[in-house]
């Protein structure tokens, strides 16, 4: 499968997909690394921290998932309430039907708005109702970055700052985030995420080296047919980087 021999599944705030993934990985002969991508806040910014090689049956991770599920559910209900005030009723039920067993998020609301004819496309749904500053834009009350790192560490995993370049911080601010992340017990940073530029990769590698953090890499694959996020399509780690998987291969 695209030359992939090891794969980390890191869905947002849930490990529900790992059972099916493990079965498929066994068929394909792929090493599957249990993971999760947890949302959190740092200085008012939404930050993602990945947990790699976590024990999904640990009390810490069970608690983390339950907490994040409640937060996402409350957000979904709030989005539905705001859309109703905008004149579009009963959107939660429609979004929930689309989500199925998954956690209801803005993309499900967007698809529902398209299906009921309220907008012509999902892009328009975000532009008109769900994007930043729009009627259905509900800010999430996530836990702090220190709390999320603690959950991951207590679940036996390695905490990783996900796609650091996507936060569009200044380098000085990013290093302040890394300072706080390391102080909380964070162990790695995503040096390579998708098809980023070699300059970004080099810079992230230098930061990892400076803070003695392990380095992760990945395609940031979400769904098929996105050429910038194709499964297994990313640059290799720079030579100065210490791969995160050495942590559990000792």
Instruction: Encode pLDDT of 159-191 as tens digits.
Output: 999 999 989 899 999 999 999 999 999 999 999
CA distance readout (Å), 70 to 34, 67, 104, 140, 141 = 22, 5, 11, 11, 10
**Helix (H), strand (E) at residue 190:** strand 188-193
**So what's the pLDDT on residue 28?**
83
Q: Judge contact between 151 and 121, C-beta under 8 A.
A: no
* Segment 100-116 mean pLDDT: 90
Give me the number of domains the chain comprises. 2
The answer to whether position 210 is within a domain reads yes
The answer to whether position 49 is within a domain reads yes
3-state SS, residue 30 = coil
How many Å apart are CA 20 and CA 5, to the nearest integer?
17
* Segment 45-49 mean pLDDT: 92
The answer to whether position 214 is within a domain reads yes
**So what's the pLDDT on residue 234?**
67
Q: Are residues 240 and 174 in the same domain?
A: yes
Q: Are residues 199 and 167 in the same domain?
A: yes
Enter the tokens of residue 34. Answer: 């249990």
Q: Strand 31-42 and strand 45-52: pairing?
A: antiparallel
**So what's the pLDDT on residue 225?**
54
The answer to whether position 76 is within a domain reads no
pLDDT at 249 exceeding the cut of 80: no
CATH number for position 176: 3.20.20.140
User: Which residues, other chains included, contact 250 with Cβ-Cβ below 8 Å and sequence gap of 6+?
Assistant: none
* pTM (predicted TM-score): 0.83
How many Å apart are CA 42 and CA 180, to the nearest integer?
9
Q: Are residues 185 and 241 in the same domain?
A: yes
How many Å apart are CA 229 and CA 81, to the nearest integer?
33
Q: Are residues 108 and 41 in the same domain?
A: no
Q: Judge contact between 211 and 178, C-beta under 8 A.
A: yes
Going by pLDDT thresholds of 50, 70 and 90, the confidence category of residue 26 is confident
> Tokens 């705001």 identify what position?
82
Q: Are residues 36 and 104 in the same domain?
A: no
The answer to whether position 71 is within a domain reads no
**So what's the pLDDT on residue 151?**
98
Handedness of CA 144, 150, 151, 152 (dihedral sign): positive
Listed residue (113, 112, 108) closest to 128, CA to CA: 113
The answer to whether position 135 is within a domain reads no
Going by pLDDT thresholds of 50, 70 and 90, the confidence category of residue 25 is confident
> Tokens 């399509």 identify what position?
233
Q: Are residues 116 and 164 in the same domain?
A: no
Q: Are residues 125 and 146 in the same domain?
A: no
Domain that holds residue 53: 6-66+142-247
Q: Are residues 112 and 162 in the same domain?
A: no
Q: How confident is the prediction for the chain on average, in pLDDT?
A: 89
**So what's the pLDDT on residue 102?**
79
Could you give the count of Cα atoms lying within 13 Å of 13 in the half-sphere of its Cβ? 19
For residue 104, count other CB atoms closer than 10 A to its CB.
22
**DSSP for 136-203, written as a single string:** T-----PPBHHHHHHHHHHTT-EEEE--GGGG---HHHHHHHHHHHHHHT--EEEEEESS--HHHHHH
More confident residue, 138 or 124: 124
pLDDT at 79 exceeding the cut of 80: yes
Going by pLDDT thresholds of 50, 70 and 90, the confidence category of residue 231 is low
Q: Judge contact between 35 and 157, C-beta under 8 A.
A: yes
Q: Are residues 114 and 166 in the same domain?
A: no
């Amino acid at each position: 499968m695209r030359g992939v021999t090891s794969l980390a599944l890191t869905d947002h705030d849930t490990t529900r997909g790992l059972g099916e993934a493990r079965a498929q990985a066994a068929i394909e002969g792929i090493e599957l690394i249990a993971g999760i991508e947890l949302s959190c806040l740092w200085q008012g910014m939404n930050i993602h921290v990945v947990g790699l090689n976590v024990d999904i049956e640990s009390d810490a991770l069970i608690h983390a998932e339950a907490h994040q599920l409640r937060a996402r559910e409350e957000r979904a209900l709030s989005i539905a309430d705001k859309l109703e005030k905008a004149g579009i009723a009963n959107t939660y039920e429609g979004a929930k039907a689309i989500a199925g067993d998954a956690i209801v998020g803005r993309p499900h609301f967007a698809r529902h708005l398209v299906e009921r004819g309220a907008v012509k496309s999902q892009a328009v749904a975000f532009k008109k109702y769900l994007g930043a500053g729009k009627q259905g834009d509900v800010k999430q009350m996530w836990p702090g970055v220190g709390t999320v790192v603690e959950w991951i560490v207590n679940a036996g995993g390695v905490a990783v700052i996900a796609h650091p370049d996507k936060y569009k911080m200044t380098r000085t601010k990013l290093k302040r985030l890394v300072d706080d992340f390391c102080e909380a017990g964070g162990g790695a940073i995503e040096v390579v995420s998708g098809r980023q530029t070699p300059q970004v990769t080099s810079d992230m590698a230098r930061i990892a080296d400076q803070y003695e953090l392990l380095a992760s890499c990945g395609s940031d694959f979400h769904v098929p047919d996105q050429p910038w996020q194709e499964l297994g399509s990313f640059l290799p780690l720079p030579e100065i980087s210490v791969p995160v998987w050495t942590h559990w291969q000792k």
